[in-house]
Structure 1
Amino acid sequence: MDYLSGLPKTILHDILARLPYKDAAKTIALSKAWRDTWSSFPNLYVHYRDFVSRYDLPLKNSHRFSEMDILIDYVTKKSLRLRDQGLAIKEFKLNLFFLLDPPHGLSHHVDQWIQIASESGVKVLELYLSNGSFGREYSEGIWYDLPLCVIEAKSLTKLVLAGGIRVDQEFLNHSMKFSSVKMLSLNHVLFSHEGVIDHLISHCPRVEHLTVVYCSVYNHLSIEDPQVDRICPVKSLFLNGLQKLKKVDVQGIEEVHIDSPNLEKLCYSHFKLGGAFKLNFDTCRKLRCLCIIDVNSTTIADKWFRELFSKYPLLESLELCNCSMSEKISIFSSQLKVLKLHHCSNLNEVNIDAPNLLSFDYRDYKNPVISFLRGSNQLEVSVFTNLHFRGSYTLRKFIENIPQKILASLSLFIYESLPNYRYLPALLVSSTPPSIKHLDFRAPSVPYTEAFYGPVISFLLSCCFPKTISFRCGGCYAFIEFFYEMLMGSKKGECYCSSLNSKCWWHALKIVNISYSCSFMIDENADFKAVLDASQKSGGMESITFSLEL
């Protein structure tokens, strides 16, 4: 007996909502009960790739949009059927994002679908429309005008507008009713007037999560002067009086002012627009997480860090990515738990005094001097770096400057290799280097010829003694086999240190254990080379990890 089909419709709908939409639709083949469940399913998700191949679409001027006709017919019939049965459309998601040009006449149908959804109490409305507007001159035909009926959707809790959508000035003349919206996302949306975006956001008093990404404004001066760009980035954003706001993500806006006392997370990306940036969130005293990306400013220096941690005593997570800053910074915080510094130019020295720091993630081709004055016993340190001549010269010095207590938690990731390998012999050191937790060698960092395998391995193991070393397998099976044979002894005579008077310390290393991450079963008694050969043929091996000891 099929007990599942006898469950209440609300539970069956919840089951369908947890499945991929295409799989949920296939349940109509199970039984009449499931067909009835699908016909009343209140969620409508439409992705262009389920109907149209982005590479097989006819030209814009062609009338043969057969695949699009199928899409239009499906959405129209489904929405009308739900409306005629008196059923709500709880979620409507339409994704046409990668169609470079919207098919002629589609706007009329989208208007109709949004109208039906708005009138039936839609809670989630997500529109990912044409990206044909990106990087192109202003053209009326490639923008979809958001209909005013969206204002009537009083039940909305989530509104996402992305790509090729224009919000007209008429929205200023109507009273917004977005009193239930908790999540608002505006991505590459064109506003006809500078005040429309502030007006829209300010009428979402319960918004908790706000995203504004590279939105634009129509430049009315371009009508008089054809040399002036017809669209330009939104210059400023003012977020005031949003008491519920907890998370903000803003990208591509020069000036941002936030007055939201309950804000907990802020992510800001200037994207190096060329001008100065201004980010004011002084009143957000409950801030716990701050992420700043692509900011080119010398203001990020010791004074900036001192003021940051004094203003926001609850700040637990700080991430700086692709930011210019002073050559030396000092971070003092008793509350900080997560610190990420990714590709920060000019940075040569970092001093960290954070007794509760649990995670430190550093990524760059440079290896600055990093000093830990204090740190948690649970601290995990991850360093991602390239293997090139300058980095090679400073890598061991970089490791030696880290206290042994911290080194025990250090994972070193080599993710790209751009060296002049003939200089590596001059950098070799025969004495035992500092011990670290883990060394991870990514496929792009593998030397392009076997002649350099020995020098690279010798150099890395002269910089650090990893308790475990992993190799990401894509394209580097020969390198992994070479490393295995060197440690097992068959290639030790070919080690690059054979030209030195003393042998490398790591000749005494032993392989304690070899573990695999793969998609196929491995016989625990299988020979390593047999496993490697099988993996190379199937492509099912993700990584191989060696546990080492002296």
Structure 2
Amino acid sequence: MAAIAPLSEVDASAEAEKIMDGISDLPKAILHNILARLPDKDSARTSVLSKAWRETWCTFPILSICSYQFFRSQDVTVENSHSLIDKVIDYVGRRLLSLRDRGLAIKEFKLMLDYVDNEYMSHHLDLWLKMAIESGCEVLQLCLHRGFLGAEYSQDRFYDLPLSVTVSKSLIKLELTGGIRVDQAFLTHSIMLYSVRILTLCNLIFTRDGIIDHLISHCPLIEVLTVKYCVVYNPLSIGNPQVSRFNKVNSLFLHGLHKLKRANVQGIKEVYIDAPNLEVLQFFHRTSNHPNASFKLNLDGFTNLRWLCLWSWKISDIGDKWFLELFSKLPFLEDLDLRGCSLSERISIMSAQLKVLGLSNCSNVKEVNVDAPNLLSLVYRGKNQPVISFRRTSNELEVKVSLCSLRNCLQNIKPQNILASVSLFIYQSFPIEPMHGAFQVSSIPPTVRHLELGCAPENEALYFPFMNYLFSSCCPKLITFKLSSNKVDRKAFIEFLYEVLMGRKEGKCHCSSSNTKCWWHALKIVKVTCSFKFDENADLKSILDALPKCYSNEKITFMLEL
């Protein structure tokens, strides 16, 4: 058999052109699908590849425009603002007119502007939205930021949303964020957003109470709703500096949303949603101006709720009685996530359906009693170390904790046989002094499933005391180190950890003067793996040398066998 000669650079280039020509010959629908899967910047670059790709780009029905593609908001000055904005106006206008002249639909129109001169641009925005709506646009995302909001929270810096948006029968997704004002004319206008499934309203200003309720309630097929930190203009503030010009939307009353499955509501004090098929609810009511304000949230009608996430509730809102009533009201609740809540000292969780429980930075709590036979995961994050007791547990239960006082945390988990499934996440260094014998113990520490480290001491002299503290607290089967690009040389710490595990690094461990030997004396095998693609048989040095330049999400794992 004749040997196959390697391709020359010329041959390789020709082969690449053939492949590109083959792709260019694909149907336009497939080429558009390829562009839709690329980042916006990369999809725009395809227009220079060939005449076929340029034609594909010109007929691409998805327009995604960000002002940072043309200028940075910090570079805008009074003298150059109009010339910079004109670049955006010219580009968007040409793209929209090209599609309209060809009789092509605009499936998605996404406009994200960090700087906008309202007086100079508003009529262009009106025209663009009108063209997109009339073309049968299915996805409309309008995100306006600093140019409208500015240093002063002034009404005249907001863009007035045109009524034409509300008569679209083709819109499936509508997302409005930032410097947009919704006028009271929407209260009397016929809203026909009958096809909208996904609606997002964030940081908008409404000129009258009730507009937001009216707008949402006229989207009968909505399935996903997000409302965050919208405000209402207060006309009584005119000429009265003592009266706030803008108030947070105080209440949200929504009726007839029988298709709604997911809702995320933040910054509203009183919420009532008539949505019997709701499955996911996130609710964050607290605001910085009124941290102790009371709130109301109806849960009685959410009989199909599967996931509930509550942020910043206070102690008067959540107690033992609340937990007992919660699971009777929500018989299908599988995931309960409490974040930043001020709980009572003792809480009890009793549910046959609950599978995931999260408690993050919840103050005051000293005791957590869990009776959930189907619980698969408990995640606890916080500075305090409550006693966590399990009455009935699943064989697949995994407990994840992220605490400073590791040893106390493990001692507070009852019964102790649960520890075999515990995953520990350590994301901040302990205040450890390099003192010999500081962590001596009289018994072998408990075995845990996984120890994940997201930190390392800055001082190399603290490497051994830090690891000594961890190993005197628990015996992990897996140790994972999460890499990040910062001032700490984590590669040096990983090498140190490996040398300790392999017994090559000399040091006085916590059992050196005790009859009870620590677990790493019995360590037989240490296997190193990494999250990025690499030879699985490579040694640690080769792995560290092959680390990508940006490795913020990369991990190195040590699999241990005693």
How big is the shift at 1:284? 1.5
Partner Cα separation in structure 2 for residue 140 and residue 257 of structure 1: 28
Q: Which residue of 2 aligns with 1:394?
A: 408
Partner Cα separation in structure 1 for residue 280 and residue 431 of structure 2: 39
Provide closer, same or farther for how the CA distance between residues 64 and 238 of structure 1 changes in structure 2, counting only shifts above 3 A. Answer: closer
Q: Which residue of 1 aligns with 2:300?
A: 282
One of 399, 402, 413 as aligned partner of 1:384: 402
Partner Cα separation in structure 1 for residue 549 and residue 63 of structure 2: 39
One of 216, 224, 231 as aligned partner of 1:209: 224
Q: Which residue of 2 aligns with 1:13?
A: 32
Contact 2:167/2:190 (<8 A) preserved: no
Q: Which residue of 2 aligns with 1:327?
A: 345
Deviates more, 1:168-177 or 1:66-75: 66-75
The residue type equivalent to 1:266 in the other structure is: L
Provide closer, same or farther for how the CA distance between residues 25 and 484 of structure 1 changes in structure 2, counting only shifts above 3 A. Answer: closer
How big is the shift at 1:110? 1.0
Q: Which residue of 1 aligns with 2:473?
A: 463
> 3-state SS of the aligned residue for 1:177?
coil
Provide closer, same or farther for how the CA distance between residues 485 and 502 of structure 1 changes in structure 2, counting only shifts above 3 A. Answer: farther
> 3-state SS of the aligned residue for 1:68?
helix
Q: Write the deviation string for residues 385-428 of structure 1: whole angstroms up to 9, x where unpaired.
A: 22xxxx256234135x3431x32221101111242537995553
Q: Which residue of 2 aligns with 1:434?
A: 446
One of 404, 417, 424 as aligned partner of 2:429: 417
Provide closer, same or farther for how the CA distance between residues 128 and 120 of structure 1 changes in structure 2, counting only shifts above 3 A. Answer: same
How big is the shift at 1:72? 1.0
Q: Which residue of 1 aligns with 2:272?
A: 257
How big is the shift at 1:113? 0.4
The residue type equivalent to 2:492 in the other structure is: A
Contact 2:403/2:409 (<8 A) preserved: no
How big is the shift at 1:321? 0.6
Provide closer, same or farther for how the CA distance between residues 383 and 396 of structure 1 changes in structure 2, counting only shifts above 3 A. Answer: closer
Provide closer, same or farther for how the CA distance between residues 383 and 102 of structure 1 changes in structure 2, counting only shifts above 3 A. Answer: farther
Contact 1:183/1:209 (<8 A) preserved: yes
The residue type equivalent to 1:513 in the other structure is: V
Contact 1:509/1:548 (<8 A) preserved: no
How big is the shift at 1:466? 0.6
> 3-state SS of the aligned residue for 2:428?
strand
Partner Cα separation in structure 2 for residue 333 and residue 523 of structure 1: 43
Q: Write the deviation string for residues 32-59 of structure 1: whole angstroms up to 9, x where unpaired.
A: 333333222211110112111233x231
Q: Which residue of 2 aligns with 1:515?
A: 528
Partner Cα separation in structure 2 for residue 513 and residue 497 of structure 1: 21
How big is the shift at 1:23? 2.2
The residue type equivalent to 2:235 in the other structure is: H
- Establish whether residue 39 from structure 1 lines up as the match of residue 58 from structure 2: yes
Deviates more, 1:163-172 or 1:220-229: 220-229
How big is the shift at 1:366? 2.0
Q: May I ask how many residue pairs the two structures share in their alignment?
A: 535
> 3-state SS of the aligned residue for 1:28?
helix
* Structure 2: runs of 5+ lacking an equivalent: 1-17
Partner Cα separation in structure 2 for residue 266 and residue 160 of structure 1: 19
Partner Cα separation in structure 2 for residue 196 and residue 210 of structure 1: 16
Contact 1:455/1:496 (<8 A) preserved: no
- Establish whether residue 22 from structure 1 lines up as the match of residue 41 from structure 2: yes
Deviates more, 1:118-127 or 1:35-44: 35-44
Provide closer, same or farther for how the CA distance between residues 109 and 349 of structure 1 changes in structure 2, counting only shifts above 3 A. Answer: same
The residue type equivalent to 2:509 in the other structure is: C
The residue type equivalent to 2:461 in the other structure is: A
- Establish whether residue 483 from structure 1 lines up as the match of residue 497 from structure 2: yes
Q: Write the deviation string for residues 484-523 of structure 1: whole angstroms up to 9, x where unpaired.
A: 333333444433554x444651341425133232657458
Identity %: 50
- Establish whether residue 358 from structure 1 lines up as the match of residue 383 from structure 2: no
1:99-248 to structure 2, matched below 5 A, reads 99=115, 102=117, 105-132=120-147, 136-248=151-263
- Establish whether residue 300 from structure 1 lines up as the match of residue 318 from structure 2: yes
The residue type equivalent to 2:474 in the other structure is: C
The residue type equivalent to 1:163 in the other structure is: G
Q: Write the deviation string for residues 119-141 of structure 1: whole angstroms up to 9, x where unpaired.
A: 11111110011235658433244
Provide closer, same or farther for how the CA distance between residues 493 and 8 of structure 1 changes in structure 2, counting only shifts above 3 A. Answer: closer
One of 97, 110, 113 as aligned partner of 1:93: 110
Q: Which residue of 2 aligns with 1:546?
A: 558
Provide closer, same or farther for how the CA distance between residues 525 and 416 of structure 1 changes in structure 2, counting only shifts above 3 A. Answer: closer
Q: Which residue of 2 aligns with 1:494?
A: 508
Contact 1:425/1:455 (<8 A) preserved: no
One of 68, 85, 98 as aligned partner of 1:49: 68
